[in-house]
Amino acid sequence: MPSDPSKRTVLLTGAAGEIGHGLVHGLRSHDDIRIIATDLKEIPEQTRSLCDEVHVGDVCDEGLMQQLIAMHEVTDIYHLAALLSTRAEHVPEVAHEVNVGGTWNLLKLAAAHSASHGERVRFILPSTIAIYGLDGQEHKAKVGEVEEGSYNLPKTMYGANKLYCEHLGRYYSRHYRRLAEDRGTALVDFRSLRLPGVIAAETRPTGGTSDFVPEMIHAAATGQSCTCFVRPSARIPWMTMPECVQSLLDIGRVESGRLTQSVYNVASFSASAQEVADVLLRHFPDARIDFEPDVNRQGIVDSWPEGVCTARAAADWGYAPRWNLDEAFEQYIVPAIQSHYAHTSG
Ligand code: SER
């Protein structure tokens, strides 16, 4: 069933995840987009109802992904499916298979589809601050904000996977089969954003190392106590889910001629666990937060930068953060989380 050629058709993987939930809602506000969503897990009804089609399936399943891309004449791929940093450290080989294998599978298929249709498939991949690797607390404090090209020495399987996938994406979009005579011109149009810790009011994170902040916020909003697994001074960059979704939509829409690189840092503010807890306590004075650092997870956070430079994203495609820490709480986190828990049992 080919889609109407005047429309764009998005294949979205990882649709049952946190960003998938937000992105489907964001994409849906554009009527001329068809959404084909997949996940290994059952996609929640709230998300399903906004998609044109949903498929339960594995991103490593070449036959299924090929069928979806060809059958729907996919023009854009948002490839969100991945094992995050904490989960990946427990099962690194599986993480490699899914994070690298799944991305490679989709890039190959996107390249073949681009070539056969003479039109570049747009491929948007969320990357991460985990691709940076600093040598612990002191080094991190000394380095401060990092630019895209520095400290690309990840200390987690997740970070290594994503860094390699950035390279693969760049290869497929600029250098693929560079010596082949029948190479053609329609290569994949690859773009990637290095996301910071993302804070969502409507969903709870699982499997990430930046989960310490969202966990704290969701616990406070539901009257539960929270034991934070990093020390109070642990600082990384953050953004809220609406900002994350907006930046993914923006990078997906921008004219390729404006992009001077394929991978960009994005983030709204940097904050330590204690700074977030202080703002949280102003809004939820009964919140109970203890700190019991887990040495291993703390080590991962100590290898991530405390801030990222977003100047390239600002210059090339007009990226601008929407909220600082206080504004994020006032204008999004508190109202959205209160409304969320008023309508659900948690
Ligand atoms: N949120 C991710 C994680 O914690 C980092 O980008 O794994």
Q: Is 129 in the pocket of ligand 1 (CB under 6 A)?
A: yes
Residue 4 binned pLDDT confidence (cut-offs 50, 70, 90):
low
| 87 alpha carbon – ligand 1 mean position (Å) | 10
More confident residue, 178 or 210: 210
Which residue's CA is the nearest one to ligand 1's atom 6? Answer: 128
Which residues share a beta bridge with 225? 288
Cα angle 44-45-46, degrees, rounded to a multiple of 5: 95
Please tell me whether the overall predicted TM-score, pTM, comes out greater than 0.85 for this model: yes
Checking if the pLDDT of 55 tops 70, the result is yes
In the block, which residue shows the tokens 């887990």? 294
Average pLDDT over residues 263-285: 98
Checking if the pLDDT of 286 tops 90, the result is yes
Among 10, 170, 167, 28, which Cα is nearest to 78's?
10
Domain boundaries, the chain: 82-345
| 127 alpha carbon – ligand 1 mean position (Å) | 9
| 84 alpha carbon – ligand 1 mean position (Å) | 6
Closest atom of ligand 1 relative to the 205 alpha carbon? 1
What distances in angstroms separate CA 315 from CA 47, 115, 258, 264, 308, one per listed residue? 33, 31, 9, 11, 15
Q: What is the pLDDT of residue 177?
A: 87
Provide the CATH topology of domain 82-345: Rossmann fold (3.40.50)
Average pLDDT over residues 213-224: 98
Phi, psi at 75, each rounded to 5°: -105, -25
Integer Cα distance of 338 and 151 in angstroms:
39
DSSP state of 257: G
What distances in angstroms separate CA 44 from CA 16, 37, 53, one per listed residue? 7, 11, 13
Joined tokens for residue 290? 């203890």
Integer Cα distance of 217 and 234 in angstroms:
16
Average pLDDT over residues 97-123: 96
Joined tokens for residue 332? 């999004």
Checking if the pLDDT of 152 tops 80, the result is yes
Q: Which of 99, 125, 161, 211 to mutate to test the pocket of ligand 1 (most atoms within 8 A of CB)?
A: 211
DSSP state of 299: H
Q: Is 208 in the pocket of ligand 1 (CB under 6 A)?
A: yes
pLDDT tens for residues 13-47?
999 999 999 999 999 987 789 999 999 999 999 89
| 310 alpha carbon – ligand 1 mean position (Å) | 18
